[in-house]
A and B are shown apart, each in its own frame.
Chain A
Amino acid sequence: MTVFPRIALTVLVAAPVLAGVACRRPPATPPGPAVNQDSIDAENARRDSLARLEQMRQDELARERARRDSIANAGSRRDQMLEAARETIRNPVYFEFDRSDLSPEDQARLDAKIPILNANASLRIRAAGHTDSRGSDEYNLALGQRRAAAAKRYLTQHGIDASRIETVSFGEERPAAQGGDESAFAQNRRTEFEIIAGGDNIVVPSGP
């Protein structure tokens, strides 16, 4: 904000007048410069109007900034919802040792994917089955495939077209957690979900 030195200007304009008063001479002397109050007022008015213009311009900029911020906030909320939807799709399910059946908790995780898949017909996913490192390397590839297939079967039984879900197995070849304890094993017995098409413009379904 520019500070306008209006008082200082007034003093400067008035200075010769005061000087004239202080150095009053006999009338024969020619008169000093006449103080034209009108021109001072006009000059002040001009500067006031410039200041108001500047103020209006600043206010307009602030409004524009606020408008942009609000749009950005809305966009980021939408991004967050999209990312949450993608996370719901990607959310893995977990299994017991040498098992491929789905627990109620895992079924709930799959249930959460269904409205998103229903609202986005072009969304395609890949279910990748994994195992812990304890079984046979070769048999674990088959077990991983069965885990991927179990997730796919649940989704297709709930109305998702089978052509939208690919399955693949990596057996014990790609552990999510390193280590030889049950905590690592449990994290590795899983089916992961990857979006392979239609993930950029997801329609987030309204309501739960």
Chain B
Amino acid sequence: MTLSNSLRASLALALLLPAVPALAQDTTSNRGVRIGLSYQLGGRPGVYIAPVTGPAGDSVRAILQRDLDNGDRVTIVGSDSAGLALAPLIRGTTPSYEIFARLGAAALVVATQTPTGLRVALHDVAARKVAGARNFALPAFSSAREWRAALHAVSDEVEQWITGTRGIAATRIAFSRGGRLFIIDSDGWGETAAGGSAPALSPGWHPNGQRLVYSVLGEAGSRIMVLELSGGANRALVSRGGLNITPVYSPDGMTVLFSSGAEDGTDLHAVPASGGAPRRVTVGRGTDNVSPSYSPDGRRVAFTSGRSGHPEVYIMDADGTGAELLTPFAFGDQYYRSNPDWSPDGRSVAFQSQVAGQFQVMTISLRDRSVKQHTSESTNEDPSWAPDGRHLVFTSSRTGVKQLWVLDTETGRVRQLTRTGGARLAAWSPRLAGR
């Protein structure tokens, strides 16, 4: 929290640009701040990240490069050994902009280590000038986790300068493996056990990024649990017997929506996040209603329901009224669709759909209900949106075991996130702002 504030404060001081006031006020806007960089809009600007001198310089450069690459909005230029040879072209008062322009770079990112962290200057190659510069505080290099998190926040800021859209490097993904909860950085580094009870399933993030809600299966029934990520405090939110699964926080963090049932089907129930009596939301009449996902404004909910005879994705108002079928299916189709996740921009819902007996990740546009299939190799399931509304993390068995993969829904590019098998039921965190 303090780090995030200091980032903003230092930004306001250091980034001497007309657009700065807008950034200081509105961090939730998808538009954010752009440093009016000169490049073809709609294309992917080339970005050259200069070698960084100093003790952790190579790590700084490698992380910035990888983060911007993972963001899929820019093309990294000169990330190979040849790129190091270009370094002398930057030093001095005027970089050799025409050479970088010929290499396809629209922007140069020049980072310098300072006693308190990092100073980052962004050069506009076409305009042949420094477009902006800013100081970032970084914790000590020895505290690797915090240091990397702060550096990811720098990457996200740089991505916003260049493209106008904040990156997603400073995020984490929670998931379940072998009945235990884990958290991994968005770049696949630093996988750690999160603690809590076991066997744990279906983690969901609190919007503050510091708390998980999840389900734990017991011999006599399942419960909804809440785990504080700092300190590890773990408490039961719902333990009323029967089945209590697939919890999610509402976008305001005030409510947990989950599926509950015993002998007469399962319905979605809402419980105050601080605890209390659950209130039934869906009227499934003996059918199963699970896996809810709120729209970003918290007013609607997508969920899986078996009310038509087999599972399909429905959307309804958050109070349970106005439920309508979202995913189209052919009459007599024995396959099904499930596990919706409403995109952070509100425009589409990701879900899984059986194709030839195997689940594939799909998205459906809420504007025209057009469906796009994003995977086809092996089984791919349980998609969860990144805060940019563009990337999805999902479970894939394409290597023979279940691993988490990240998909760019615009280009179809995928990368493997986890390296130890059995990972599933991933949930992408909100932006973590340097924490």
Give the B-binding residues of A (Cβ under 8 A): 97-98, 126, 134-139, 141-143, 145-146, 149, 152-153, 162, 166-170, 173
Contact = CB atoms under 8 A, between A and B. Distances in A.
Nearest to B202: A138
Given A135-B336, A136-B352, A168-B220, A142 B381 contact: no
Given A139-B304, A141-B217, A142-B306, 5 more contacts: A137-B424, A138-B382, A143-B306, A145-B288, A168-B222
B357 A146 contact: no
* Main secondary structure on B side of the interface with A: strand
A98 B243 contact: no
Contacts of A143: 288, 306
B171 interface: no
The 4 closest A-B pairs by CB, nearest first: A142-B288, A136-B338, A149-B263, A142-B266
Contact of A142 (B217, B221, B259): B259
A153 B263 contact: yes
Q: Which residue, of A137, A153, A169, has the highest number of chain B Cβ atoms within 10 A?
A: A137
Interface in B372-398: 381-382
A168 B245 contact: no
Given A136-B359, A139-B311, A167 B262 contact: yes
A122 B355 CA distance: 49
Given A98-B336, A153-B263, A167-B263, A138 B246 contact: yes
Contacts of A153: 263
B381 A136 contact: yes
Contacts of B338: 135-136, 138-139
A149 B264 contact: yes
B422 interface: no
Contacts of A162: 263
B201 interface: yes
A145 B289 CA distance: 12
Contacts of B304: 136, 138-139
A145 B264 CA distance: 9
B320 interface: no
Interface in B189-236: 199, 201-202, 217-222
A91 to B, nearest CB: 20
A5 B261 CA distance: 87
Contacts of B245: 138, 141-142
Contact of B310 (A98, A169, A170): A98
Contacts of B265: 142, 146
A66 B259 CA distance: 63
A138 B290 contact: yes
B357 A145 contact: no
A101 B201 CA distance: 27
A145 B263 CA distance: 7
Interface string B413-427: 000000000001100
A100 to B, nearest CB: 9
A23 B304 CA distance: 122
Given A98-B336, A136-B291, A136-B381, A168 B263 contact: no
Contacts of B217: 141, 170, 173
Nearest to A169: B243
Q: Which residue, of A142, A167, A170, A173, has the highest number of chain B Cβ atoms within 10 A?
A: A142
Interface string B354-367: 00010100000000
B339 interface: yes
18 contacts: A126-B220, A135-B336, A136-B291, A136-B352, A137-B381, A137-B382, A138-B338, A138-B425, A139-B304, A139-B338, A142-B259, A142-B289, A145-B261, A146-B288, A149-B264, A153-B263, A168-B221, A173-B201
Nearest to B286: A146
B221 to A, nearest CB: 6
Interface string B239-266: 0001101100000000000010111111
A145 B242 contact: yes
Contacts of A141: 201, 217, 222, 243, 245-246, 290
B381 A139 contact: no
A139 B382 contact: no
Nearest to A136: B338
Q: Which residue, of B243, B306, B338, has the highest number of chain A Cβ atoms within 10 A?
A: B243
Contacts of B425: 137-138
A154 to B, nearest CB: 12
Interface in B326-362: 334, 336, 338-339, 352, 357, 359
Contacts of A136: 291, 304, 311, 336, 338-339, 352, 359, 381-382
A32 to B, nearest CB: 95
A97 B310 CA distance: 11
Contact of B199 (A134, A139, A142, A173): A173
A127 to B, nearest CB: 10
Given A138-B202, A146-B265, A168 B219 contact: yes
A32 B217 CA distance: 103
Nearest to A148: B263
Nearest to B381: A136
A23 B335 CA distance: 119
Q: Which residue, of B218, B263, B289, B382, has the highest number of chain A Cβ atoms within 10 A?
A: B263
